[in-house]
Amino acid sequence: MTLKEALKKHFGFDSFLKGQEEVISKIIEGKSSIAIFPTGSGKSICYQLPALLLPHLTLVISPLLALMQDQIEFLNSHGIEAARIDSTLSREEEKTMMEKLRKGEYKILMISVERFKNERFRAFLKQISISLIVVDEAHCISEWGHNFRPDYIKLPLYQQEFSIPQVLLLTATATPKVIKDMADKFRIHSDDVVVTGFYRPNLHLKVQPVAERDKYTRLLEILKNKEDDATIVYATLQKTTEQIAGYLSQNGFKAAAYHAGMSSEQRESIQNDFMTGNKSCIIATIAFGMGIDKSNIRNVIHFDLPKSIENYSQEIGRAGRDGNTADCILLGNRDNVNVLENFIYGDTPDPEGIKSVLQEIKVAGHHWEVVISSLSSATNIRLLPLKTLLVYLEIKGIIQPLYSYFANYRFSNIISNEQILQKLKGERKDFIKAIFDGSDKARKWTTVNFNSINALYPCNRDRITAALEYFNEKGYIELEAKETTDLFVVKKPDFDLDSLASDLYTSFKEKEKIEVQRIAEMISFFEGETCLSYRLAEYFGETIESSSCEECSVCLDGPTILPISTQLSPLSSFSFSSLTNELFEIIPDINSPEIITRFLCGISTPIFSRKKIKTLNHFGILEHYPYQDVYRMVQNEISKSLFPYS
């Protein structure tokens, strides 16, 4: 059977889209590959068809639960056995699914990258054969990408650990530099990278300079006589999506907000309404649209600036997938550029926080065990930057990850301990009795005490957890595991703490510059003097035949300048002691200019969440001011000793 015949048989399509057959052929030939296709160009078939033809399981890493669900439903509708493992499954559902996977009844398993931290899941993976690992949104593996996720950088190690012979990387947004980084990390030859191009002539890109106060009126003008068009309006803040949805609803539109602050049930309902046409207009934060297979979206409107050119490309890529004309309109001004930049500065850890992490490593000995969430709280470093910090330490050879495990196990008996012991004999019976005798029993739950068990019956931890997993699978007990703990080997404990802390802080500052530059590039793109479509393709390394699309706002009306409509009072007009009194009442010994600046600019940190600082009146009072200007002002106030608490 040819690939085209297999495509027709399993999916009902008569022919491949551009690039699909080339990628699939490479996978069938036993090679690894990278597929860089625009949003909506059929990346999923590149793994779905090979999964049916390869001998063992295809493991798919996906960043979004909704995307997994959509893909599973599509595959099941074509009679293809596919499954996902995520936090929404009950223990019984997960157990049934794993048993089917062991028997080879599924061809595709979808998981999030965080699932690899689960020691129970890793132990399970070692029991099955895997032909291919697929990484969706694979640009997340690159530090040079627009959405670097530290957990992704470990995927090449997982590929080796589970002896997975092939990998397929999928993304819609990757510059030449990011593509090379992805290929290097997975040792994929440049000949096996397939890029189909980014230019889509049916998307008409338009930039409309609009003062912030006029955006609602302009939005209504754009959508006039388009009440039934499928439309996505993107906004930065959750509260803004709610406000726009209310405004459009009052003006006769079937509109709804969509954001991460809603329950999964609400989001699923709104998404279904949009897919079926019950709601024609969705006002959303950036999460909406990933994996949405709706071909007739006629308008994508950016009410606020996107985070980067990559984000912009991904978001407008959800329009016009049917090949018909779609408008992609930006309502642009510079009023919130400082807010976008300030969130970048918030991801740079304080020098003292970095030193605190290094001090823990230095005194840990040969092995360092850490609960990442607790370390984040203790060092006041946000979770994502903290994970990035640990990746930097891995790259420098200071630490090496061994594995993650659950610190706490507990079980509830479905049958009694005595009934379980009656099923066993000899040494194994003695071992299991030690588990029961050494654990701490309460009314319903029994907490596993590894130290007590080891004192009664010397054994390693893995044997204890394996026995409990076996009893759970057999239905003898209900097993729960909590508090993920990461175990690292400390390879270079004799590092110079101050010097290393300085180097790491410099790395974060360099990353900070790159991200701020990304925003500057985006502003330059929207204010450029040449064709928007041409320059967007050029940004991603593609050269198109004509330098004019004759449809974008630059080609039709010439370049625009994004206005600034908000006039800010000079910082010297504020009384900083008044603005910070509330903060010092709660954290009286604070003397960090970084923390004070983040308070004034409205940037969340673990200590702010823990102490409910975000509820204070002056939290974020200076969010529209440049972070660096506020930081210099705070430093100046501290140096003049105007803060009595410093």
pLDDT at 346 over 90: no
Rounded distance, CA 382 to CA 285, Å? 21
Examine domains 3-195 and 203-334+527-557 and report if their fold is the same.
Answer: yes
Q: Two tokens at 411?
A: 């079980």
What is the torsional sign of CA 283, 287, 288, 289?
Answer: positive
Pair 266, 294: CB distance under 8 Å: no
pLDDT band at 235 (very low <50, low <70, confident <90, very high): very high
pLDDT tier, 502 (very low <50, low <70, confident <90, very high otherwise)? very high
What is the CB-side half-sphere exposure of residue 445 using CA atoms within 13 A? 10
Strand order in the sheet with 440-441: 367-370, 477-490, 399-413, 445-447, 440-441
Instruction: Indicate if the pLDDT at residue 396 is higher than 50.
Output: yes
Q: What are the strands of the beta sheet with 130-135, ordered from one edge?
A: 82-84, 108-111, 57-61, 130-135, 166-171, 33-36, 193-195
pLDDT of residue 65: 63
We find that the CATH architecture of domain 203-334+527-557 is 3-Layer(aba) Sandwich (3.40)
Q: Please report the pLDDT score of residue 77 as a whole number.
A: 85
Q: Please state which of the ranges 36-45, 126-135, 167-176, 488-497 shows the lowest mean pLDDT.
A: 36-45
Which of the two residues, 357 and 63, has the higher pLDDT score?
A: 357
Q: Which of 83-97, 315-329, 442-456 has the lowest mean pLDDT?
A: 83-97
Q: What is the pLDDT of residue 292?
A: 66
Mean pLDDT for all residues in the chain: 90
Under the banding of pLDDT at 50, 70 and 90, the label for residue 289 is low
Residue 148 confidence (pLDDT): 80
Domain range summary for the chain, segments of one domain joined by +: 3-195, 203-334+527-557, 344-402+489-514, 405-487, 571-639
pTM: 0.77
Q: What is the mean pLDDT of residues 225-235?
A: 93
Residue 291 has pLDDT above 70, yes or no: no
Please give the structure tokens belonging to residue 183. 């290929």
Residue range 472-495: average pLDDT? 90
C-alpha 122/C-alpha 183 separation (Å) is: 25
The CATH number of 3-195 is which of 3.30.413.10, 3.40.50.720, 3.40.50.300, 3.40.50.920?
A: 3.40.50.300
Separation in Å, CA 187 to CA 109, 183, 344: 24, 6, 31
DSSP string, 383-412: HHHHHHHHHHHHHTTSEEEEEEEEEEEEEE
* Poorest-pLDDT segment among 13-17, 86-90, 179-183, 187-191: 86-90
Under a CB-based contact definition with an 8 Å cutoff, are residues 610 and 377 in contact?
yes
What burial class does residue 238 get, using C-beta atoms within 10 Å of its C-beta: 0-12 exposed, 13-18 middle, 19+ buried?
Answer: middle
Helix, strand or coil, per DSSP, at residue 83: strand
Of how many residues is the chain composed? 646
What is the model's pLDDT at position 119? 72
Q: Tokens representing 283?
A: 């006002």
User: What span, in angstroms and rounded, lies between the C-alpha atoms of 474 and 287?
Assistant: 39
pLDDT for 263-274, tens place per residue? 878 888 898 899
| Per-residue pLDDT, 645 | 47
How buried is residue 162: exposed, middle or buried, by Cβ count under 10 Å (0-12/13-18/19+)? middle
